[in-house]
Structure 1
Amino acid sequence: MLAQLGAIALVVAPVFGLIGLGFIASLSGHLRERAAEGLSEYVFGLAVPVLIFKTLAEAQLPQEGQPWGYWIAYFTGAFLVFALGMVAAKRLFGRGHLESVIQGFTSGQANTVFVGVPLILQAFGPEGAVPLFLLIAIHLPIMMVLATVLAEGAAAGVSLASLRRLGRMLAFNPILLGIYAGGIAKLAGYVPGGVLKQTLDMLAASAVPCALVSLGLALHRYPIRGDIGPAVLITTLKLGVHPAIVYALTRVLPMPPVWADVAVVFAAMPCGINAYLLAQRYKAGVTAAASAVSLSTAASLFTVTIWFLILGVS
């Protein structure tokens, strides 16, 4: 037990240590707002897409095809906590439809890039990269489409303008472009070499530390500032209920063991900053979303450790 905790600490401590470093740097004024925005743009627009492209181009894909149990397990959990978050917002906190959708989306939307990529790669290495990036490829589109349809479809139907806006956002999303490019390179049998490989290696190596420091800087901008009740409930759904559902399903549905563990850890990630951005776009549930992002990120230091213990990560 102590040996396993020591091994987990070697995975978790550097990840959350860099998040804490970014938070302290922002809190102290050592790195200012423009540094936070610039680093976030670099991570999201260049470093992580290059990491994904490089990893997928060089990856060994499963010979037996896609394990559909993997997708069923993860998204069953995601949709259930989305629904539970919506129902709780309406019944427990008396919120309207739009704010209930935002709280449901916050409950089901994981922080895949800034926490998921560093933590899962640190825990499972290259073997966990393929299931991680394949899930990222469809996670954001599915959750964003669902949230948009529920938010706008209740009153007058989903508008053409909103669908166009969503389509543009997904079509030019740098993370998705990295996934598509990596998939095409893999299908074509292209693996970067020479100077290009060295350049991509350097960019990819910067992705994880920069993403973690960037998240720490961002958390100072999204403080716990109210709506504590909904934030605590959302955090419980995201860090406890979601991975518990996925864990139960991965024990009975067919998939490789590493894929099962990646699905559970992916589900155990804190609320994604996209939830806060969506709340800002619709001007509903902003305080609850911001509080849930910060609270779930802080709490995930402990809950992720527990899930690693349950999964036997060592």
Structure 2
Amino acid sequence: MLTQLGAIALVVAPVFGLIGLGFVASLSGHLRERAAEGLSEYVFGLAVPVLIFKTLAEARLPEEGQPWGYWIAYFTGAFIVFAIGMTVARRVFGRAHTEAVIHGFTSGQANTVFVGVPLILQAFGPEGAVPLFLLIAIHLPIMMVVATVLAEGAAAGVSLATLRRLGRMLAFNPILIGIYAGGIAKVVGYVPGGVLKQTLDMLAASAVPCALVSLGLALHRYPIRGDIGPAVVITALKLVVHPTIVYVLTRLLPMPPVWADVAVVFAAMPCGINAYLLAQRYKAGVTASASAVSLSTAASLFTVTVWFLILGVS
């Protein structure tokens, strides 16, 4: 037990240590808001897409094809907590429909880039990269489409302008471009070499530490602002209920063991900042989503450790 805890600490401590370093740097004024914005843009727009492209281009895909139980397990859990989050927002906290959608979306939307990528790669290494990036490829599009349709479709139907805006956002999303480019490279058998490989290796190596420091800077910008009750419920749904459902389903449905563990850890990630950005767009649930992002990120230091213990990560 103590040996396993020590091994898990070697995975978790550097990740959350860099997040804490970014938070303290922002809190103390050592790094200002423009640094936070610039670093976030670099991570999201260049470093992580290059890491994803490089990993997928060089990856070994499962010979037996895609394990569909993997997708079923993850998204069943995601949509169950989405529905619970909406229901609690409406019936317990008395929120309007759009704000209830934001609560549900925040409950099911994981922080995949800034926490998921560093933690899962640290825990499972290259073997966990393929299931991680394949899930990222469809996670954001599916969750964003469902949230947008629910938020706008209830009143007057989803407009053509909304669909176009959503399509542009997904088409030009740098993370998705990295995934699609890596997938194409894998299909055609292209693997970068020479100077290009060295350049991509350097960019990819910067992705994880920069992402973690960037998240720490962001947490200072999105503090716990109130609406604590909904934030606590959302945090519990995201960190406890979602991974519990996925854990049960991954033990019932067929898939490689590493894929099963990646799905559980992916589900155990804290609420993603996209939830806060969506709340700002609709001007609903902004306080609850911001508080849930910060609260779930802080709490995930402990809950992720527990899930690693359950999964036997060593």
Percent identical pairs in the alignment equals 91
Shift of 1:309: 0.2
> For 2:190 and 2:102, how far apart are their aligned partners in 1?
41
Match of 1:251, SS state, is helix
Q: In the TM superposition, what whole-angstrom CA distance separates every residue of 1:234-292 from its partner, at most 9, and x where no partner exists?
A: 00000000000000000010000000000000000000000000000000000000000
Q: How far 1:217 moved relative to its partner?
A: 0.1
Secondary structure of 2:140's aligned partner: helix
CA deviation string 1:107-144 (max 9, x = no partner): 00000000000000000000000000000000000000
TM-superposed deviation, 1:178: 0.1
Could you list the per-position Cα deviations for residues 55-80 of structure 1 after superposition, in whole angstroms to 9, with x for gaps in the alignment?
00000000000000000000000000
Residue 47 of structure 1, CA deviation: 0.1
Residue 176 of structure 1 and its aligned partner are, at CA, apart by 0.1
Q: Which residue is 1:304 aligned to?
A: 304
Structure 1 residue ranges, 4+ long, deviating more than 6 angstroms after superposition: none
Three-state SS of the structure 2 residue aligned to 1:154 is helix
Paired residue secondary structure (1:24):
helix
Root mean square deviation, CA, Å:
0.2
The Cα offsets for residues 130-185 of structure 1, whole Å up to 9 and x where unpaired, read as 00000000000000000000000001000111111000000000000000000000
Deviation, 1:99, is 0.2
State the 1:19 CA deviation. Answer: 0.1
In 2, the alpha carbon distance for the partners of 1:161 and 1:78 equals 27
Separation in structure 1 between the aligned mates of residue 187 and residue 155 of structure 2, nearest angstrom: 43
CA distance in 1, matches of 2:160, 2:150: 15
What is the CA deviation profile of residues 28-87 of structure 1, one whole-angstrom value per residue up to 9, with x for unaligned ones? 000000000000000000000000000000000000000000000000000000000000
Question: How many aligned positions are there?
Answer: 314
Between the aligned partners of 1:271 and 1:204, the Cα distance in structure 2 is 24
Counterpart Cα distance in 2 of 1:180 and 1:27: 37
**Secondary structure of the structure 2 residue equivalent to 1:64:** coil
Residue 24 of structure 1 and its aligned partner are, at CA, apart by: 0.1
Alpha-carbon distance between aligned partners in 1 of 2:258 and 2:103, rounded to the nearest angstrom: 31
1:6-45 alpha-carbon deviations (Å, 9 max, x no partner): 0000000000000000000000000000000000000000
**Which residue in 1 is equivalent to 2:277?**
277
Q: Distance in 2 between matches of 1:313 and 1:185?
A: 31
Once the 2 structures are TM-superposed, how far is the Cα of residue 207 of structure 1 from its aligned partner? Answer: 0.1
Partner residue in 1 for 2:159: 159
**Secondary structure at 1:155's aligned position in 2?**
helix
Between the aligned partners of 1:144 and 1:94, the Cα distance in structure 2 is 24
Q: In the TM superposition, what is the alpha-carbon distance from 1:208 to its structure 2 partner?
A: 0.1
Partner of 2:293: 293
Deviations 1:191-250 (A, max 9, x none): 000000000000000000000000000000000010000000000000000000000000
TM-score, normalisation: structure 1: 1.00
Determine helix, strand or coil for the equivalent of 2:116: helix
CA distance in structure 2 between the partners assigned to 1:241 and 1:170 by the alignment = 28
| Structure 1 unmatched runs, 5+ | none
Match of 1:268 in 2: 268
